[in-house]
Amino acid sequence: MGKHWGLRMVFDDHVETWSSAVGQQQRNERRRAGLKYFGIPTALALPFLFVHFRLQGIAQLLSGVTIFTALLFGLLVLMFNTGIAVRKDSAIFEHAHDLKLVISDLRANVTYAAVVAVCLSLLLAIAAAITSPPSTVDPVGGLSWWWTPICIWFFTHLGLTLLMILRRLRTAFNYVSR
């Protein structure tokens, strides 16, 4: 599946941005980043396996996430155009030595964030389709409790990826403005 859609390449590109070191230092930095970007969402989602909390307002969440996903695709197009402009007019940014690398890393991170957002949108769409309305049998209604940890994991993972994107945007701005 990933081979045909390029999802493995998107993931690999994203992971490569976690460290610019080489050798053992690179492996250590990537291991720490992996624990951060996958461990923190897992740690936050894990308690919901025991609490049995039910998410409500899935349709509203779906609306927000799909709009946000579209904005990520817009940012991805902007990153593509910026990459072309930097390659074309690199003399303009002669003092921004690592700008090309930062923009390349940023493109990889935004692409990955867009994939995660699409996965979250699909997850919420399926959840919205199977959400039961409140009834006499189930006065709470809503989603089954086991969807909550999955949704929490994806929201947290996407949030951490967005924080990485913000950090890289700040770095790129600093390279251009100094």
C-alpha span between 35 and 42 (Å, rounded): 10
- Owning domain of residue 80: 2-177
Q: What is the pLDDT of residues 72-106, one digit of tens each?
A: 999 999 888 877 877 777 666 666 667 778 888 99
Q: Between 78 and 138, name the one with better pLDDT.
A: 78
- Is residue 159 over pLDDT 90? yes
Ramachandran class of 134: left when φ > 0, alpha when ψ lies in -120 to 50, beta otherwise: beta
DSSP 132: B
- Is residue 130 over pLDDT 90? no
Q: What is the pLDDT of residues 13-41, one digit of tens each?
A: 999 988 877 889 989 999 999 999 999 99
DSSP-assigned beta bridge partners for residue 132: 142
- Is residue 170 over pLDDT 80? yes
Domain count of the fold of the chain: 1
Distances (CA, A) of 88 to 44, 50, 76, 93, 119: 44, 55, 18, 11, 34
- Is residue 112 over pLDDT 70? yes
pTM of the prediction?
A: 0.84
Angle between helices 7-16 and 99-130 (to 10 degrees): 130
